[in-house]
């Protein structure tokens, strides 16, 4: 890999892309994308695919009742010495 991100080649950028996306970084601001149409198109395709996947499986927040049941089950399963820390939250 090169020392300066602006001189990164496509293979290096694409190898780094999962880590960049996973970190929550704004990948569209990456220096390599300023000069590389191919990687800009690649990133746009990935964003389109990710958006389509989110629409297939919409995010559903569990109800308060479910969270209470989960919390209760954790308390019931927790060893005696951790009970105090669980009830303080």
Q: Over pLDDT 90: what percentage of the chain?
A: 52
Q: Over pLDDT 70: what percentage of the chain?
A: 82
Q: Which residue has the tokens 């590389």?
A: 36
Does residue 76 or residue 80 have the better pLDDT? 76
pLDDT for 84 equals: 57
- Contact at 8 Å (CB) between 19 and 27? no
Encode pLDDT of 23-49 as tens digits: 988 888 899 999 999 999 999 999 999
Neighbour-count burial of 32, counting CB atoms closer than 10 A to its CB (0-12 exposed, 13-18 middle, 19+ buried): buried
- The domain locations on the chain are 5-56, 60-89
- Rounded CA gap, 58 and 61, in Å? 10
Q: What is the mean pLDDT of the chain?
A: 84
């Amino acid at each position: 890999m090169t020392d300066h991100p602006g001189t990164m080649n496509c293979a290096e950028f694409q190898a780094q892309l999962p880590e960049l996306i996973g970190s929550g970084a704004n990948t569209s601001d990456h220096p390599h994308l300023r000069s590389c149409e191919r990687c800009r198109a690649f990133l746009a395709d990935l964003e389109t695919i990710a958006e389509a996947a989110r629409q297939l499986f919409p995010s559903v927040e569990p109800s308060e009742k479910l969270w209470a049941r989960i919390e209760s089950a954790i308390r019931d399963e927790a060893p005696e010495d951790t009970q105090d820390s669980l009830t303080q939250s």
